[in-house]
Chains A and B, each alone.
Chain A
Amino acid sequence: MRDKVLIANGQGFWGDSILGPIRLVREGPLDYLALDYLAEVTMSIMQKLKSRNPAMGYATDFVAMLDRILPEVADKGIKIIANAGGVNPHGCLEAVLELARKKGVKGLKVGIIEGDDILDRLPELIESGEEMRNLDDGRPLSDIDPERISSANVYIGAPAVAECLAQGADIVIGGRITDPALVAGPLMHEFGWGEDQFDQLAAATVAGHIVECGAQCTGGNFTAWRDVDDYVRIGYPVIEAHKDGTFFVTKHDGTGGLIDRRTVVHQLLYEMGDPERYLGPDCTAQFTSAQIEEVGENRVQVSGVKGTAPTDTFKVSISYHDGYKASGQLTVSGPDALAKAKLCADIVWGRLELDGCTFEEHQKCVEFVGAGVCHEGISETENPSEIVLRIGVKDADKKKVNRFGMEIVPLVTSGPPGVTGFAGGRPKATDIISYWPALIDKRKVETSVRVETV
């Protein structure tokens, strides 16, 4: 058994830089590489891709990245844990096996975790008494027309990952594995932690949370950004974990970026709810118990984390079709950029009304980018030299949304002077996919693992 384990996170979301994982494999020692490809609405995008092509529905970026580094990963014995499987872990498995054969990587073991995707089981689950009420507003899932539901996935935890590794997998592909479980799973496996070692599981959950957004704990999105050297070659985080649950947040020597108490605390606070009770499938972690200490250059120790038993429910992430939206933009130069941009917006609404097309206030959005949009009411400016007018609508009626899109470009010739920057054609109606978080009885969900050898 190793006395310490090195786990990196090389991907914070689907769309993060391909350089993260490639450089982690090449620029320093590593035992495990964790890769997080999923966000709340990613599953529904993947479900749509799968409905067009049954072989799709997983993070193709993952396979493109492996295409560049798989032989090196295999030579160095680095194991990979990724939730790249999306709504089609089997399809992802097939693509990785094919790639390994093409690259001549023999003996590679690739495992998948299935059972998180409950879309087809929803009628049966509702029938059995699972109401899956929306955690935000309390409505039961039966309020939504089943035809509109596009994905439903249970957040699964570390034991399934550990089981897949115990069966010998070099690469573990899952669907909706929680972000922290990508780190906690390997640690359970390596240190032989039981499912009731809540302090250790909570520590691993905190570690997983710190690294789950990649470079967001190594100087990315950091308030004191001027203190960060070399954003170009920013190092992705590496956790050095120990059996008692103590761990160190580090990065490879010679990489850019910064790790100190401040960068780590930034990420601990990211997407935080109640820091006393961070709910996960494996434990309830107390973020308030973590002791954070700078112990060296780019090296922060986290210790003392406490945890308690998890709840008897899993979180479910459900997405459903919820109407249409469109948004377009124009650039308005000065003089009087803001006044002219406001007039432009009024002209759009006025002309649509002339044609019998109206939207309610909450269905419209007008922003004057450059005058204080992000910090509305906090730091605004009265007389910017130019403005980007962003104007958008949402509605259940696709025709109305498309009608709106036709009234933006005419402003170039039929509005105030100095209107330009219209590119990309008329904005077209796109689907709104809304998110429905809910809970489900743990006993109703079974995960399974399978490992195949190249």
Chain B
Amino acid sequence: MAKIKLADIAQARSGDKGDGSNVGIFAHNQADYEFLKEVLTPERVKQHFAKICKGDVVRYEAPNLLALNFILHDSLGGGGSESLKTDAQGKTHGLALLEMEVERA
């Protein structure tokens, strides 16, 4: 088992979705996509964003894009013009997900 960062095998983009953010992450080949599907459960993502995401995490799959899309509910401090946070639109959440370290055989 070796420790890798998701940034080694995937890329991501994020943005706002009401008072939550969406984080889209995609792989560059089928094997890495299967690995992402296995390791990135909503629970694991929620745990990773524990200090940022106060609500549920919902996962969608887009196999044609080798992508997973996560909705991180209640992660923007209110969202829109209500938020006092620097990243009120979740623009940096994609890179934050790529920081995750995982074990891979």
What's the Cα separation between A41 and B99 when bound, in Å?
31
Q: Is B81's CB under 8 angstroms from A434's CB?
A: yes
What's the Cα separation between A419 and B85 when bound, in Å?
22
Q: Known contacts A41-B80, A136-B18; decide if A289 and B64 are in contact (CB<8 Å).
A: yes
What's the Cα separation between A375 and B96 when bound, in Å?
6
Q: Known contacts A375-B95, A375-B99; decide if A327 and B84 are in contact (CB<8 Å).
A: yes
Contacts of B99 in A (CB 8 A): 375, 378-379
Contacts of A394 in B (CB 8 A): 78, 82, 84
Contacts of A433 in B (CB 8 A): 80-81
A221 at the interface (CB under 8 A from B): yes
A377 at the interface (CB under 8 A from B): yes
B33-49 residues at the A interface, CB under 8 angstroms: 48-49
Contacts of A276 in B (CB 8 A): 60
CB distance from B33 to the nearest CB of A (A): 12
A377-434 residues at the B interface, CB under 8 angstroms: 377-379, 390, 392-394, 431-434
Interface residues on A, range: 35 or more
Q: Is B60's CB under 8 angstroms from A374's CB?
A: no
0/1 string, B45-66, CB within 8 A of A gives 1: 0001111100000001111111
CB distance from B13 to the nearest CB of A (A): 4
Interface-located stretch among A116-124, A236-244, A266-274, A350-358 = A266-274
CB distance from A133 to the nearest CB of B (A): 14
A276-296 residues at the B interface, CB under 8 angstroms: 276, 287-292
Q: Known contacts A136-B18, A376-B51, A379-B99; decide if A269 and B13 are in contact (CB<8 Å).
A: yes
What's the Cα separation between A341 and B18 when bound, in Å?
31
0/1 string, B75-98, CB within 8 A of A gives 1: 001111110111100011011101
Contacts of B78 in A (CB 8 A): 394
Q: Nearest residue in A to B91 (C-beta to C-beta)? A: A221
Tell me which of A367, A377, A431, A435 contacts B51 (CB under 8 A): A377
Contacts of A452 in B (CB 8 A): none
A1 at the interface (CB under 8 A from B): no
Q: Is the interface of B mostly helix, strand, loop or mixed?
A: mixed
What's the Cα separation between A287 and B61 when bound, in Å?
11
Contacts of A269 in B (CB 8 A): 12-13, 22, 24-26, 62, 65, 67, 69
Contacts of A434 in B (CB 8 A): 80-82
CB distance from A380 to the nearest CB of B (A): 9
0/1 string, A17-52, CB within 8 A of B gives 1: 000000000000000000000001100000000000
A373 at the interface (CB under 8 A from B): yes
Q: Is B67's CB under 8 angstroms from A271's CB?
A: no
What's the Cα separation between A265 and B71 when bound, in Å?
17
Contacts of A224 in B (CB 8 A): 11
A437 at the interface (CB under 8 A from B): yes
What's the Cα separation between A367 and B86 when bound, in Å?
8
Q: Is A272's CB under 8 angstroms from B52's CB?
A: no
A247-278 residues at the B interface, CB under 8 angstroms: 262, 265-276
What's the Cα separation between A322 and B100 when bound, in Å?
36
What's the Cα separation between A265 and B16 when bound, in Å?
17
A295-354 residues at the B interface, CB under 8 angstroms: 322, 325, 327
Q: Is B22's CB under 8 angstroms from A376's CB?
A: no
A445 at the interface (CB under 8 A from B): no
Q: Known contacts A266-B11, A272-B24, A375-B95; decide if A432 and B51 are in contact (CB<8 Å).
A: no
**Which of A270, A272, A273, A290 gathers the greatest number of chain B CB atoms within 10 Å?**
A272
A144 at the interface (CB under 8 A from B): no
Tell me which of A136, A270, A377 contacts B13 (CB under 8 A): A270
Tell me which of A275, A367, A379 contacts B85 (CB under 8 A): A367
CB distance from B98 to the nearest CB of A (A): 7
A sample of 24 cross-chain residue pairs with beta-carbon separation below 8 angstroms, ordered by A number, consists of: A136-B18, A221-B13, A223-B94, A265-B67, A266-B13, A269-B12, A269-B62, A270-B15, A271-B15, A272-B24, A275-B62, A275-B65, A275-B67, A288-B62, A288-B65, A325-B82, A325-B84, A375-B95, A377-B51, A378-B99, A393-B84, A394-B84, A434-B81, A435-B18
Top 9 closest A-B pairs, CB basis? A269-B24, A377-B51, A365-B84, A223-B11, A392-B84, A374-B92, A275-B62, A375-B96, A266-B13
